[in-house]
């Protein structure tokens, strides 16, 4: 079987059950052979995330540790530049992966804004896009919301022969209704986050006192607050 490499990118501030549900749905539906979870360095045109890249990578690594075929990658955290999906895909192209071997995994709510991304629409030629339903944003709505892309949309399963050109795969799956913003607010309010993140991530957050303050420079907030820090990367 050909290589089928999933790329799940995001600020992951923190990584939560919704992110993992999206990745798991794509992994199973498309028969992926590997899933790379990639924390973004700097979301384009947005303030820095609350937690440092070290913490966000650690939380991603804890999340994937017990998932066969999943790996955390620091390729976007190594530099100082903003994190653009186009740059990440080029990294994989330069390593010898064909666009049809790559599957950029994303929630339907974020994909609905693809028109604002850097290098749109060229970016859609860099990989398949595996788009997964999110609460209040089912993939069934995307052909209507993005009519110019409807002809490129397809449904799993993916047969043994890879398509000649990258496609947009629409995956209808139930994903946890949670956001990084809501998790951070729970921490500020002193509310539990059990079930919103993996147990190892919850332990890491509590051990290091992350997200306990919405004020810059105080314990739990080592970066400038950013209410939209949990948005997937790539937007301009």
DSSP secondary structure letters along the chain? ----EEEEEE--TT--HHHHHHHHHHHHHHT-SEEEEEE-SS-TTSPPPSS-HHHHHHHHHHHHTTSTTEEE--TTTSSSS---HHHHHHHHHHTT--GGGEEEEEEHHHHTTGGGBTTTTGGGGSSEEEEE-BTTB-GGGHHHH-GGGGGGEE-SPP-SSPPSS--EEEE--------HHHHHHHHHHT---BTTB-HHHHHHHHHHTTT--SSTTSTT--S---TTTTSPTTB-
Task: Let me know if 114 is exposed, middle or buried by CB neighbors in 10 A (0-12, 13-18, 19+).
Answer: buried
pLDDT tops 70 at residue 235: no
Mean local confidence (pLDDT), 156-173: 86
Task: Please tell me which residue, 207 or 220, carries the higher pLDDT value.
Answer: 207
Q: Which two tokens stand for residue 29?
A: 């539906």
Rounded distance, CA 29 to CA 166, Å? 16
% residues pLDDT > 70 (the chain): 87
Token digits of residue 61: 């690594």
Q: What's the rounded mean pLDDT across residues 39-63?
A: 88
Give all strands of the β-sheet with 5-10 in edge-to-edge order: 70-72, 34-39, 5-10, 102-107, 128-132, 168-171, 153-154
What kind of fold does domain 5-171 have according to CATH?
A: Rossmann fold (3.40.50)
User: Binning pLDDT at 50, 70 and 90, where does residue 14 land?
Assistant: very high
Residue range 165-206, pLDDT digits in tens: 999 999 999 999 999 999 999 999 999 999 999 999 999 999
pLDDT greater at residue 24 or residue 46: 24
Is the omega angle on the peptide bond into residue 157 within 30 degrees of 0, that is, cis? yes
pLDDT of residue 192: 97
- Residue 40 reports pLDDT greater than 70: yes
Summarised one tens digit per residue, pLDDT across range 103-136 is 999 999 999 999 999 999 999 999 999 999 999 9
**Ranges of each domain in the chain:** 5-171
Among the residue ranges 12-16, 76-80, 166-170, the one predicted with the least confidence is 76-80
228 pLDDT higher than 50: no
> For residue 236, how many other CB atoms are within 10 A of its CB?
13
Q: Which of 81-95, 181-195, 220-234 has the lowest mean pLDDT?
A: 220-234
């Amino acid at each position: 079987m050909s290589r089928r490499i999933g790329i799940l990118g995001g600020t992951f501030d923190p990584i939560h059950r919704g992110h993992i549900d999206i990745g798991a749905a794509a992994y199973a539906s498309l028969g992926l052979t590997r899933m790379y979870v990639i924390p973004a360095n700097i979301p384009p045109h947005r303030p820095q995330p609350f937690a440092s890249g070290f913490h966000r990578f650690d939380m991603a690594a804890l999340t994937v540790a017990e998932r066969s075929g999943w790996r955390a990658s620091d390729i976007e955290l190594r530099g100082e530049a903003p994190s653009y999906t186009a740059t990440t895909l080029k990294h994989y192209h330069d390593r010898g992966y064909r666009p049809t071997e790559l599957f950029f995994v994303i929630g339907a709510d974020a994909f609905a804004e693809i028109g604002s991304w850097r290098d749109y629409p060229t970016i859609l030629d860099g990989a398949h896009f595996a788009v997964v339903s999110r609460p209040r944003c089912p993939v069934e709505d995307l052909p209507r919301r993005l009519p110019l892309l409807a002809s490129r949309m397809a449904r799993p399963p993916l047969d043994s022969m890879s398509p000649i050109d990258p496609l947009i795969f629409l995956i209808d799956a139930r994903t946890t209704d949670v956001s990084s913003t809501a998790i951070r607010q729970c921490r500020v309010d002193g509310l539990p986050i059990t079930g919103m993140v993996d147990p190892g991530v919850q332990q890491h957050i509590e051990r290091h006192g992350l997200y306990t303050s919405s004020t810059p420079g105080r314990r739990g907030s080592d970066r400038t607050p950013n209410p939209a820090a949990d948005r997937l990367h790539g937007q301009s």
